[in-house]
Chains A and B, each alone.
Chain A
Amino acid sequence: MTPEELLDAYAEMVLIRRTERAAHDLFMSGLVKGTTHLAAGHEAVAVGASGALRPDDYVFATYRGHHHALARGATPEECLAELMSRSTGLCQAKGGSMHLTKASSGMLGSYAIVGAHLPMAAGAAWSAKLRGSGQVAVAFFGDGATNIGAFHEALNLAAVWALPVLFVCENNLYMEYTPIEAVTAVPNPAADRAAGYNMPAEIIDGNDVVVVHETVARAAERARKGEGPTLIEAQTYRHFGHSRADPAKYRPADEVERWMKHDPLDVARARLEALGVPPETVADRDRRAAATVDAAIAAAKNAPEPEPALAFTDVWADGGAAWRT
């Protein structure tokens, strides 16, 4: 990554961090209902990967997917409006926090059934292969998804068909509340399974945006050359609990402290400093991100609720919901 690319990546990560903080605060103040699964701490995975992809590549994410929507071009205002049930939301307030989607830029959805989107990503990659488009598809998923059948079916199919797909595990050590190591037969829940599917795998520092970027770029290049899928296990950590107001008290204090000292924003800042980027340039990006998110919060709060008729649109491709004559 050039210093300029790294600075942009840093700014994008700050924007995501601020958006997630806003989502948390809006949830606690009752303006976001249902649930949220915040990705603060995971920013480098989304931003590092996205920067290494083509604009027309496909991304599939999980219910912890705000960072992927933002990294693929969704605005904080669209995301927060969706969380706040406003008509200006990304999905017209019909999806919510767990289903952020920005199809116009290839971010084809956030799926809330664990592991379900891995076969979809394989299918999008199959489609790219059939069309000869040179696109790749990326499925981001949590460590918890590595013990569900769809993960294994997708990996096998992708390997057998040599599909241009990247499987990127965001291993944050906890499936929800239970440590992943307590329920998994191998120490590296994603990477250790790859050999069973004759698939190359890498375990990387998911909190270093440069490392993620370089790893994804290499894997995407392999995929585009027709050399098949790659599995990447990016080690990272949640700043918040699993969902909603989970204080994550099940995590040992020393573990939390260790990971908080390895925050992706700090890692990127240190790299920028080493490259000679002036601190005031970095601070300026911090201020701009804060202003963008503040404006997004205000705009989302002022946006209208969806019209009731919207409940009956878009079941079908013709826009309607008719089920009988």
Chain B
Amino acid sequence: MADVKFTYRDAVAEGIAREMRRDPSVVCLGEDIGAAEGVFKTTVGLFKEFGPGRVWDTPISEQAIVGAAMGAAMTGMRPVAEIMFSDFLACCWDYLANEIPKARYMTGGQVTVPLVVRTANGGGLGFGAQHSQAVENWAFTVPGLKIVAPSTPADVVGLMAAAIRSDDPVVFFEHKALLAGSGPRPPDDHVIELGRAAVVREGTDVTVVALASTVPLSLKAAEQLAGEGISVEVVDLRCLIPLDMRTVLRSLEHTSRLVVVEENPYQGGWGGTVVSVVADEGFEMLDAPIKRVAGANVPLPFADSLEAEVIPTVDKITEAIRRLSVY
């Protein structure tokens, strides 16, 4: 079955290709994305199918890549820009912090910036401190950016379609540790509206809110705990902006216990915002304190054994859930 081998990395290329077939204004740019088909092989087949007129190799110039994408987006195109590793977003941060998210607002609505910045995010592959960070919280601090971080191949395709069709700028985090995973190939015209979380496992005792790499970790934890008689509900946020707090709060109505699992650092991580909304609007539903399982407040170390110390693991999640379930 071909579907069995439909990987997350295939899904990235497939999601982009579907939109490029549908809409001639969709163009790609980035480092090594053309004939080389991407360092993570997430643009395989695009150059062959669409040619150099729509798939553009760039120099190692992150500011030029994202700045040019912005200029093209303001003038009728729908560019999909790749920043190879999300750590490198820091090299073009001006565009994500000051230019792209503010252009529409500060011009009184005169311009729109319909672009996607795709980037390989997160740890687990032993790339060390400058190629392993989960930095979705960087984007989360900036009003005016939509943020997508899928956990399954089907969601990659559906959310890529929505991101490219969005008239707003979208930062699309592809998790490196998920690239080799596979899942069902979604049907044609599979589009997932931005800002819709998915309840990926139903349960009654504890709600786990997860994103990208922490979704499969949480599902494994839930599976283990089922054997111990603990029923875990797992919510895959899928997007950070728009943030689907309605789904989180609705889940808490029947579990009354919350664990948030995020790979970005505890310090300034997106889970803090999820928790603050729950504290404000869902306090009376809670029967226990809220736990956050998050990246540690240290740079990412190289050795696997050290890296596992500082990012979420199945064991850390099961431990947090166990503690809450007996509170």
Interface residues of A (CB under 8 A from B): 58, 60, 89-96, 99, 101-104, 108-109, 111, 113, 116-128, 130-131, 137, 149-150, 153-154, 156-157, 160-161, 313-319, 321-325
Contacts and interface: CB of A to CB of B under 8 A. Distances in A.
18 contacts: A93-B108, A94-B108, A95-B107, A113-B94, A122-B68, A123-B72, A126-B71, A126-B72, A127-B77, A150-B63, A156-B59, A161-B56, A317-B104, A317-B112, A317-B114, A317-B166, A324-B244, A325-B247
Given A94-B108, A156-B61, A156-B64, 6 more contacts: A92-B108, A103-B107, A122-B67, A122-B71, A123-B71, A314-B109
B66 to A, nearest CB: 8
B72 A315 contact: no
Given A116-B94, A322-B242, A314 B105 contact: yes
Nearest to A306: B108
Given A103-B110, A157-B59, A317 B167 contact: yes
A90 B107 CA distance: 8
Contact of A111 (B68, B69, B99, B244): B99
Given A91-B110, A116-B99, A314-B109, A123 B68 contact: yes
Given A153-B63, A161-B56, A108 B74 contact: yes
B242 A120 contact: no
Closest 4 CB pairs of A and B: A119-B67, A123-B71, A123-B68, A317-B167
B105 A123 contact: no
Contacts of B174: none
Contacts of A313: 109
Q: Which of B99, B106, B108, B277 has the most CB of A within 10 A?
A: B108
A156 B58 CA distance: 10
Given A149-B63, A150-B67, A156-B64, A127 B108 contact: no
Contacts of B144: 315-316
Contact of A113 (B99, B111, B166): B99
Contacts of B72: 123-124, 126-127, 130
Interface residues of B, number: 50
Contact of B71 (A95, A137, A161, A315): A137
Contacts of A153: 59, 61, 63-64, 67
B70 A119 contact: yes
Interface in B92-144: 94-95, 98-99, 103-112, 114, 143-144
Q: Which of A93, A102, A103, A122 has the most CB of B within 10 A?
A: A103
Contacts, number: 167
B85 to A, nearest CB: 18
B75 A109 contact: no
Contact of A316 (B69, B168, B243): B168
A318 B63 CA distance: 27
A325 B72 CA distance: 31
A314 B113 CA distance: 12
Contact of A123 (B69, B108, B114): B69
Nearest to B166: A317
Given A122-B71, A123-B69, A128-B75, A113 B98 contact: yes
Nearest to A95: B106
B75 A127 contact: yes
A249 to B, nearest CB: 31
A120 B71 contact: yes
B64 A119 contact: yes
Contact of A325 (B59, B94, B243): B243
Nearest to A135: B75
Contacts of B66: 119
Contacts of B103: 109
Interface in B25-72: 27, 53, 56, 58-59, 61, 63-64, 66-72
Given A124-B71, A124-B72, A324-B242, A157 B27 contact: no
B246 interface: yes
A160 B106 CA distance: 32
B203 interface: no
Contacts of A318: 167
Given A154-B67, A315-B144, A324-B277, A130 B53 contact: yes
A119 B79 CA distance: 14
